Chains A and B, each alone.
Chain A
Amino acid sequence: TQLLEQSPQFLSIQEGENLTVYCNSSSVFSSLQWYRQEPGEGPVLLVTVVTGGEVKKLKRLTFQFGDARKDSSLHITAAQPGDTGLYLCAGALESNQGGKLIFGQGTELSVKP
């Protein structure tokens, strides 16, 4: 059973298009993080959201945490080939204070020039 459902699993788009990746759960998270992973490397943190309804922007990337802190989304505007990679959401369960993160399955994004 996957605690954190991420969708879509694969996304192939043209440069300039917009896209949204979703992360959903029935569990409440005290915080949620988004990571990006490139081939041959480990995941690298993009952002952390901690407050229900919070919206954070990182250049062309917009991250939102659901009001109930059970879901999150990542929206990319005018995608570029450099955005290609694996995007992972990861949540810290409210019931677990031990530093453990639950990872989604990831979204493999390919942006073609």
Chain B
Amino acid sequence: DAGVIQSPRHEVTEMGQEVTLRCKPISGHDYLFWYRQTMMRGLELLIYFNNNVPIDDSGMPEDRFSAKMPNASFSTLKIQPSEPRDSAVYFCASSFRDREYQNQPQHFGDGTRLSIL
């Protein structure tokens, strides 16, 4: 079975440019999470969706960051304009809630390594 698919795997761009990261969750999963990972701050939750609706975006650093989930099989995280301090590995993860309303583990993609010069 295909896991969570992220693209691109690597992105290098100059500051001020728009960056779009893409994620395809596992089919049937109704939760989608975007994380950022750095050495200094570890794994930080940016935003998460349930049934395509944003539930908690309190982790989004500032207005330069935005995320959308137009349908159950696709989500984007956009940074505009990008800055060098946005350099990090960005992960997408998906999960589902079972019939007993227990949250199942999160399945992570392999991440996008973003470098802003």
Contacts and interface: CB of A to CB of B under 8 A. Distances in A.
Interface residues on B, range: 20 to 34
Nearest to A46: B105
B111 A99 contact: no
Top 10 nearest A-B pairs by Cβ distance? A42-B108, A45-B105, A105-B42, A99-B31, A103-B43, A99-B103, A43-B108, A41-B110, A42-B91, A42-B110
Interface of B: 4, 31, 33, 42-43, 45, 48, 50, 55-56, 91, 93, 95, 97, 101-103, 105-111
Interface string A98-112: 111101111000000
Contacts of B105: 33, 45, 48
Interface class of chain B by DSSP: strand
Given A45-B106, A45-B107, A101-B106, 13 more contacts: A33-B105, A40-B110, A40-B111, A41-B111, A42-B91, A42-B108, A42-B111, A50-B102, A90-B106, A100-B56, A104-B42, A105-B42, A106-B42
A99 B108 contact: no
A97 interface: yes
A92 interface: yes
Given A42-B93, A42-B109, A99 B48 contact: yes
A33 B103 CA distance: 11
B108 to A, nearest CB: 3
Given A42-B4, A42-B108, A42-B110, A99 B97 contact: yes
B96 to A, nearest CB: 9
A101 B45 CA distance: 8
A97 B56 CA distance: 12
A71 B6 CA distance: 32
11 contacts: A31-B102, A33-B105, A42-B4, A42-B91, A42-B109, A43-B91, A45-B106, A88-B43, A98-B56, A99-B50, A99-B95
